[in-house]
Amino acid sequence: MSSEPRTEALDPRVLIVCGSPRAHGNSEVLAEHIAKETESASAVTEVVRLRELDYSSCVGCELCRDSGKCSRFTDGMTPLYDKIVEARGLVLISPVHNYNVTAWMKAFIDRLYCFYELGYPRPGPWRSTLSDQDRKAVIVAVAEQTEVHDAGFTLEAMRLPLEALGYEIVDELLVSGVFDKGLVSSLPDALSAVEAAGHTLTQALAR
């Protein structure tokens, strides 16, 4: 694997990854509103619903150390790797499940392990092959409870790995107080907030 950073200009594409198991749930409504905003700013946008994909979590086999790609599994994650590389903008949206991201989102994040170059002996120096490319991200958590405490680590569980991978988080939101499937459609403040986050993302990508 090359240790040279990728420096070529990347299109302002946006990949929105939704980690809810509920079809047409609150996360998916928010994903659609962000997509509407980024598309209106002419950013090529794709929404990925992890519930529609069949994929394994990372098993730590380290096969990706040689190729820079996950060669252990050919599954629902496989086509996403090129999309992640090509999209300079990334949005992660996860419901809060037990104070954290959903299992779908956690497995997705763990499968990004192949983007790291790790020096030997371990532990040693490491870097992300996605770093130094002006990548920007927005993270959104969706919670039933209204106390911030009840959202637990959800935003942190997305923020820390994305920063380690080389993304600048340009906006992060906790949309709280929503339980019923799709209820967030009737909350104009929440919809405005995610649309504003989409706008912030496209502005940041245009700089």
Ligand X SMILES: Cc1cc2nc3c(=O)[nH]c(=O)nc-3n(C[C@H](O)[C@H](O)[C@H](O)COP(=O)(O)O)c2cc1C
Residue closer to ligand X by CB (options 12, 95) is 95
Interface residue with ligand X among 15, 130, 143, 155 (CB under 6 A) is 143
Q: Which of residues 10-29 bind ligand X (CB under 6 A)?
A: 20, 22, 25-27
Query: What whole-number distance in Å separates Cα of residue 93 and Cα of residue 201?
Result: 14
- Per rule CB under 6 A, is residue 32 in the interface with ligand X? no
Token output for 178: 């929503």
Strands 89-95 vs 14-18: parallel, antiparallel or unpaired: parallel
CA 186 to chain CA centroid, nearest Å: 25
31 touches ligand X (CB under 6 A): no
Residue 98 sits in the site that holds ligand X (CB under 6 A): yes
Q: Does 153 contact ligand X by CB under 6 A?
A: no
Tokens standing for 14?
């946006």
Residue of the chain from 70, 105, 109, 178 that contacts ligand X (CB under 6 A): 178
- When asked if residue 132 is in the footprint of ligand X (CB under 6 A), the reply is no
Structure token pair of residue 3: 């240790």
99 is an interface residue for ligand X by CB under 6 A: yes
State the Cα–Cα distance between residues 142 and 190, nearest whole angstrom: 10
What are the φ and ψ backbone dihedral angles of 180, each rounded to 5 degrees?
-60, 145
Tell me: does residue 156 bind ligand X (CB under 6 A).
Answer: no
By the 8 A CB rule, do 173 and 95 touch?
no
Q: Which residues bind ligand X (CB under 6 A)?
A: 20, 22, 25-27, 95-99, 142-145, 150-152, 178-179, 181
